[in-house]
Structure 1
Amino acid sequence: MTTALITGCSSGYGLQTARHFHAQGWTVIATMRRPREDILPKSSRLRVLPLDVTRADSIAACLAAAGPIDALVNNAGIGVVGAFEATPMSHIRKVFETNTFGTMAMTQAVIPQFRQRQAGVIVNVTSSVTLTPMPLAAAYTASKMAIEGFTGSLAHELSAFSVRAKLVEPGYAPTTRFAENTDMRVEDLIPAAYAAFAAPIFEAFAAPALVTRESDVAEAVWRAVNDTSGQLRFPAGADAVALAQASLR
């Protein structure tokens, strides 16, 4: 039996990934800032623990309670949609604290146990915006681009200890609450000067040709965790796969 610790399990990709791994017979440590056990199956193989990836004390307490793990899935993240010009630097820093530094802090905290055991896998969930940057998502894209480079470099240095690092790149999932976990409204980040530019973009988001399902991401994370080849990137969802293929042309 193997154990996965998954961050950001209160909704969306993280919640579905926790359910998927549990269904496959794994022990799951599902973490979230405000723990909710009612959204996950009742099982001796599933535990819900509090975790704020932006706080070192929270990370230490969570890992101590979790015990040894075999896989870390860094899924916790926050989104921001809007014109970069109108996005306060304080908010940009908040995005990086969770998406970038939070992922790095969790990774750094688990590496010692993986290195000592000469086994383990770290999967970092980024976004298809790293394949094709999208407008009105500059800060979010930057935070996820940083993790792409970080994971690629990390994969090389951890391979010396038989520890794997992987990337899962989800596309656009209309069912996820992309920006609801921030304190900035989209309307506040679209100045009048950008209104005409933004309108068709939001129309396209409302009726996308291809989308990503939460189950697509869970399955991609599952493949990444179990992959023992040198493959680094795992696009998740029809739109992400199409963007990945287009980037190879």
Structure 2
Amino acid sequence: MTQTILITGTSSGYGKAAAELFLSRGWNVIATMRRPDPGLFGSASERLRVLPLDVTCEDSIASLAEAAGAVDVLVNNAGLGGVGAFEAMPMSLIRQLIETNTIGVMAMCRAFIPGMRARRSGRIVNVTSSTTLAAFPLAAAYTATKQAIEGFSGSLAHELGYFGVQVKLVEPGYAPTTRFGANAIMPVSELLPGAYADFARPILESFAMPVLTTRESDVAEAIWHAAHDDSGQLRFPAGADAVRLAQRR
């Protein structure tokens, strides 16, 4: 029987790559994004549904859950990035990060756990970040939102495992075109007061020329492995840089 996966944040980056990978390997895919655009995935497929979703809106999540029906795997990938000095971040921005990266993930889990529990099967894959593997400067608020999901997922894995539902974490490394690029809430320049200039300069230069980076395909493959893993493994670092950080943990 063909399985169904629902992936949030599929308009670009990791989510889009994961949707394309699962489609290419025979799965039914529900790809969600704020403004649905089936054309992003090329030729139409009867195994693909593209549905609207705003993870910060309870009504949007409820509508999605009703439209989606039963899913075998839920991938919480949608997220926002934010790099800058913590003291320069407006509280409105910090709340937006938390609402999307943390509460949005929890709300999606709440919407789909009852069905998985009743069927005594299913998997939840939460996408976090390699910032949870090692301290990362200029990313305090962003890291906090991802660390919260790490702790949440570890605890959730215990309580849902009793019902045959598995919880996994995928921890992507640094990819210049994703979390800290197109998905950033505010330009880095607006979040770096003059006092931080000397401190931030070498860090931002390292962003531009990283020694190791993560490809979108790395994360898609890690999600694939997490969705099929029966070993009880919780964490799946994705990308050469994330793997190296995980080995040092």
The TM-score range, normalised by the shorter chain, is: over 0.9
Q: Give a deviation string over 1:54-99, Cα, whole Å, max 9, x none.
A: 0110001111111111000000000000000100111000000000
The equivalent residue for 2:136 is 134
Q: Residue 82 of structure 2 contacts residue 185 of structure 2 at CA under 8 Å; is this kept in 1?
A: no
**Unaligned stretches of 5+ residues in structure 2:** none
Structure 2: which amino acid aligns with 1:32?
Answer: M
Deviates more, 1:176-185 or 1:188-197: 176-185
Q: Distance in 1 between matches of 2:145 and 2:166?
A: 22
SS at match of 1:145: helix
Distance 1:216 1:182, change over 3 A: closer
Matches within 5 A, 1:26-37: 26-37=27-38
The equivalent residue for 2:102 is 100
Count residues with an aligned counterpart. 247
Structure 1: which amino acid aligns with 2:68?
Answer: A
Identity %: 66
TM-score by length of 2: 0.97
Answer yes or no: is 1:6 the counterpart of 2:7. Answer: yes
Displacement of 1:185 in angstroms is 1.7
Structure 1: which amino acid aligns with 2:39?
Answer: D
Displacement of 1:186 in angstroms is 1.1
The equivalent residue for 1:52 is 54
Q: Residue 172 of structure 1 contacts residue 211 of structure 1 at CA under 8 Å; is this kept in 2?
A: yes
Q: Residue 81 of structure 1 contacts residue 179 of structure 1 at CA under 8 Å; is this kept in 2?
A: no
TM-score by length of 1: 0.97
Matches within 5 A, 1:47-86: 47-86=49-88
Q: Residue 4 of structure 1 contacts residue 26 of structure 1 at CA under 8 Å; is this kept in 2?
A: yes
The equivalent residue for 2:190 is 188
Q: Give the CA RMSD over aligned residues.
A: 0.9
The equivalent residue for 1:143 is 145
Q: Residue 83 of structure 2 contacts residue 184 of structure 2 at CA under 8 Å; is this kept in 1?
A: no
Q: Distance in 2 between matches of 1:156 and 1:196?
A: 45
